[in-house]
Amino acid sequence: MRGETKNTTRGGFTLIEVMGALVVFSLGVLAMLSLTGVLSVQLNQAGKGTSVSVEVQNRLDSLQHLPYDSLLPGTAEDTVQFQGEPFLRRHLVTQATPLMREIQVVIAPVDGSGPELTASAFVSRPW
Q: Is 61 in contact with 54 (CB distance < 8 Å)? A: no
pLDDT at 77: 95
Q: What is the average pLDDT across 115-123?
A: 92
| Structural domains in the chain plus CATH codes | 17-124 (3.30.1300.30)
Q: Is the pLDDT of residue 4 over 70?
A: no
Coil, strand, or helix at residue 86?
strand
**Per-residue pLDDT tens over the stretch 8-64:** 667 778 899 999 999 999 999 999 988 888 898 899 888 888 999 999 999 999 999
Q: Is the pLDDT of residue 1 over 60?
A: no
- For residue 77, which of 104, 51, 96, 46 has the smallest C-alpha distance? 104
**Per-residue pLDDT tens over the stretch 98-108:** 999 999 999 99
> CA-CA distance, 19 to 6, in Å (whole number)?
30
Q: What is the average pLDDT across 112-118?
A: 85
Q: What is the DSSP string of 51-65?
A: HHHHHHHHHHHHHHT
- In 21-99, where do the E strands start and end? 74-82, 85-97
pLDDT at 62: 94
> Of 41-45, 61-65, 69-73, 117-121, where does mean pLDDT reach its minimum?
41-45
| pLDDT-based confidence at residue 2 (cuts at 50, 70, 90) | low
